Amino acid sequence: MSLRDFAAYLGVSDRTVSNWEGGGSSYQPRAESQAVLDTALGRAPDDAKARFAAALGTKGSAPPVTGRIEVDSHKFLPVFIGVERAGQLRTHMAPSADAQWLESSSARVDHPEAQDCVLYVFACGVAVFHLVQPHEPTALTDLAVWRYRSYASDLPWARDKLRDLLDEDHTRVPNPEYVLSLYWLTSGPWAGDAHDTALRLLSTPSVLVDRGAPGGPVPLDGAVEASLLATGFDHPDIVPFGVRGVSTAYAGWSGVAYASHSRERSLTIDELITCELTVQALWCFTRQIQQMIEDGQDPSMPEQYGWRFLRAAYSRLTTARAQETAQHVLMREAIMKTSGLAERLRAAQDALRESVG
């Protein structure tokens, strides 16, 4: 593009682009300008991204190829407990450091197997358990089987923990659910296309497991994983959101898989967790409204968490912010699409609006 065309494409002045070019390689754009450039790069065609990566010398950037798989599993177990119960729990918790427009508090709780476990309680009435469990599996299939089997024990554990915290009878405590998980891959034995395929498989682990086996989930023959890694694997529901030379990232129907190639430029695990927690909380909130409708009730929520609250949530999660980088925008769009949260927010908003006349 010419300087003028590029400026018009970005929505900035000709002089701004001239300053970038005139400053040379040492020039550092302001944060808002960098966000515009990052967004343009993230939405650029693959050939443009390849030229950009080659110019930076990052064309071959990839995580180290090692003889073992190292991955951190992040599980999220949401449950709707109601505004009153949430307020009761939050009186004994500290406000979450990363809580922004969706108010929440958090506290660490003990889990028999997790390296770390934090309970987040949102003012809108949702509680979310976040479990961190590092793994070094011999194969992705082993990790997939563990994932399904461990949820069978983690869900009742979460319910018992809530019962103790709320000091209520077990039958009155609602059941936590599973929505999405997050895998942060730090190393693996794959290179090139196989590494990319491994991330896709992490985002959709069900293809490696027989979930209908009589005794519970069992691994498929190891040849299945080997074949997929050799020939490739894709699915129309898998949404990529990585940036060439920076990260490999996919969102699938089971969760998110992310590998950082450039620590300075990629998303951080905290940024991914914050996005997941927001999506999990609102997914659970809208699920409660759907359940009321299915039970034959007129859905209702406290006024501050009525249809206007959902309208604001929809806007925040579907509209790019001025200070967001392309990676943040692409991450949020991918997770929103695979979780189906946008449609759920609209449906719940309409239902609450109709219920108040």
Q: Which residues contact 228 (CB under 8 A, 6 or more apart)?
A: 197, 201, 207
**How many residues make up the chain in this entry?**
357
If residue 328 lies in a helix (H) or strand (E), which one and from where to where?
helix 326-339
Higher pLDDT, 242 or 56: 242
Least confident of 3-7, 32-36, 53-57, 345-349: 53-57
Q: What is the pLDDT of residues 195-210, one digit of tens each?
A: 999 999 999 999 999 9
Q: 63-77, 92-106, 179-193, 337-351: which has the highest mean pLDDT?
A: 337-351
- Whether the per-residue pLDDT at 59 is higher than 60: the answer is no
Q: What is the 3-state secondary structure (H, E, C) of 261-303?
A: CCCCCCCCHHHHHHHHHHHHHHHHHHHHHHHHHHCCCCCCCCH
Which of 48, 65, 66, 71 lies closest to 244 in space, CA to CA? 48
Q: What is the pLDDT of residues 267-311, one digit of tens each?
A: 999 999 999 999 999 999 999 999 999 999 999 999 999 999 999
- The reported pTM is 0.81
Question: Considering the chain, what is the average pLDDT of its residues?
Answer: 88
If residue 145 lies in a helix (H) or strand (E), which one and from where to where?
helix 140-166
Evaluate whether 239 touches 334 at the Cβ level (below 8 Å).
Answer: yes
The pLDDT value given to residue 57: 56
3-state secondary structure of 73: strand
